[in-house]
Amino acid sequence: MTSQASRFKVRSIREGETELFLNQMCDAFGLDIAIARPIFYNDPFFDLSHKRILIETQSGRIISSLTIVPSAVRVPGGGAIKVAGIAGVCTTPEYRRKGFAKQLLRATIQSAPSDFGYSAAALSTDNPEIYRGVGFETCSNVVHWTAHRKLLPSFPEAETAVQINLHDAPEQLKEIQDLYDHSHSSKPGIFIRNSVRWISIEQSGQASQAIIWRNRGRLEGCLIYREKTSRRDRILEVLDLIASTTAARRGLIGSLRKMESIDLICGQGRPSGLRNLGLEDTPRFTSFKRQGVMLAILDFDMCLSIIASTGVMTPVVRRSESGLTIRLENCVSKQDRKPLRLFSVSTERLGVAIGLAPADEMSGDWISVDVGAMAQLLFGYRSASDLRSQDRLWISSESALAIADSLFPSYDTILSPLDAF
């Protein structure tokens, strides 16, 4: 009898298999292949090695497929963790509900650190329970908001706001990129927008419109948007709002009030970002919170080493004579099954030790935490004390808990619509 393991195989697609991949994806999602084909081949992130399939070895038929989109997320101290964005997970209709997509996803994230150097993986979904079984956990909240255009604040700064088309303004697009980098360079929880992502935004017909705001010729604000119609309402969807000053933010928001072709304004973002917009007291303003991006830790040694190298953890760890040992439960990767110890090398630098001797594994200050809960801790969604109260984190002492609370501060992780996988 043929075993399940030998009957099916997970690998990247090869030259000559792109049309098979495209056909399977369109069949699974019910897409028009003629419309999907140019989008598929012109994608700036197109890479055969990042298109993964589960095939039936005898027939060569693609059963399940997914795409890895290269990304990275900023963490405290300014370091960046390489992230495998998971997109387009699908299974051929007659093979659904048999665990093939989960098998493909598990094999993909287990090999992602060694094959591609990714330390974490991320995805967006309306069915989080499906992905918790392979190590993913919700690591952010997203606030969706709606405002009536005529009821928006009337800010005098709006007078100098200018509408542009991103396709026709290459020089201004470079200014927008520089403004984005400057505004987000030190913010943890931001998915980094590299040059390839900006090319994708520029080529996208859905994100071609923008409003810019200048102060004495210097670009200080940009709002990227798209327009759509829902029932009888004409809607402007804010895809991104970048502002380095309060005046720029007021100018951009105020400019929306003047757009008479629009009925409603909507957008999404961090809870803290919504407060900065100053819209919450606007009449008939509505908002609701939803779970945001899910993350999984694939290489904890690398994730922890990146944060430790910034020096942000050093003063905290030096409070403990032995440092802090962290054990991950239910690890995705075999290399993460041994505890990691953070210890002070000097007044400015930390060391991260892996593979401790069994007798020393959990001595001194230590915490033990489920891998999903650790993702929430590492990416700022939950504090160590919160996880402890939920019985998802275990400690050697109250001092260990205090160290963990200080090491991993809470912050908002956000995946902008422009950065979605």
Whether residue 183 has pLDDT greater than 50: yes
Residue 353's alpha-carbon distances to 87, 267, 339, in angstroms, are: 34, 44, 8
Look at residues 74, 81, 89 and name the one whose alpha carbon lies nearest to residue 124.
89
Residue 203's pLDDT is 78
Low-confidence winner among 211-215, 275-279, 366-370 (lowest mean pLDDT):
275-279
Residue 340's pLDDT is 87
Residue 356's pLDDT is 58
Residue 346's pLDDT is 73
Whether residue 3 has pLDDT greater than 60: no
Low-confidence winner among 172-181, 222-231, 344-353 (lowest mean pLDDT):
344-353
Mean pLDDT of 25-37: 95
Question: In the CATH hierarchy, which fold is given to the domain comprising 143-291?
Answer: Aminopeptidase (3.40.630)
Q: Residue 4: what residue type?
A: Q
Q: Give the residue, 87 or 187, on which the prediction is more confident.
A: 87
When the candidates are 1.10.10.10, 3.30.1050.10, 3.40.50.720, 3.40.50.2300, the CATH number that belongs to 299-407 is: 3.30.1050.10
Residue 262 φ/ψ region, left for φ over 0, alpha for ψ in the -120 to 50 degree band, beta for the rest: beta
Under 8 Å between Cβ of 173 and 201:
no
Which residues, listed in sequence order, are joined to residue 265 by a DSSP beta bridge?
A: 147, 236
- As annotated, the residues of the chain forming the CATH 3.30.1050.10 domain(s) are 299-407
Under 8 Å between Cβ of 8 and 56:
yes
Whether residue 1 has pLDDT greater than 50: no
Whether residue 206 has pLDDT greater than 70: no
Handedness of CA 304, 309, 310, 312 (dihedral sign): positive
Whether residue 332 has pLDDT greater than 50: yes
Mean pLDDT for all residues in the chain: 89
Under 8 Å between Cβ of 85 and 49:
no
**DSSP for 78-113?**
S-EEEEEEEEEEEE-GGGTTSSHHHHHHHHHHHHHH
Pairing state between β 141-148 and 162-165: unpaired
Tokens 């697609």: give the residue: 13
- Percent of the chain at pLDDT > 70 equals 96
Look at residues 182, 282, 189 and name the one whose alpha carbon lies nearest to residue 222.
182
Look at residues 421, 413, 420, 416 and name the one whose alpha carbon lies nearest to residue 137.
413
Q: Give the residue, 350 or 354, on which the prediction is more confident.
A: 350
Question: Taking the model in full, what pTM does it have?
Answer: 0.90
What is the arrangement of strands in the sheet containing 209-215, beginning at the earlier edge strand? 162-165, 209-215, 218-230, 233-243, 264-269, 141-148, 286-291
- Identify the three-state secondary structure at position 260: coil
Residue 357's pLDDT is 46
* Beta strand extents in 244-392 (DSSP E only): 264-269, 286-291, 294-297, 324-329, 340-344, 350-354, 365-370
Residue 314's pLDDT is 85
- As annotated, the residues of the chain forming the CATH 3.40.630.30 domain(s) are 4-137, 143-291
Residue 62's pLDDT is 95
Look at residues 113, 75, 73, 118 and name the one whose alpha carbon lies nearest to residue 311.
75
Task: Kindly indicate the confidence band of residue 202, based on its pLDDT and cuts at 50, 70 and 90.
Answer: confident
Give the CATH architecture of domain 4-137.
3-Layer(aba) Sandwich (3.40)
Whether residue 305 has pLDDT greater than 70: yes
Tens digit of pLDDT for each residue in 352-384? 877 554 445 567 889 999 999 999 999 999 999
Residue 361's pLDDT is 56
Residue 40's alpha-carbon distances to 13, 19, 33, 363, in angstroms, are: 14, 10, 10, 52
Under 8 Å between Cβ of 339 and 326:
yes
Residue 359's pLDDT is 42
Tens digit of pLDDT for each residue in 54-96? 999 888 899 999 999 999 999 998 899 999 999 999 999 999 9
* DSSP H or E run through 73: strand 62-74
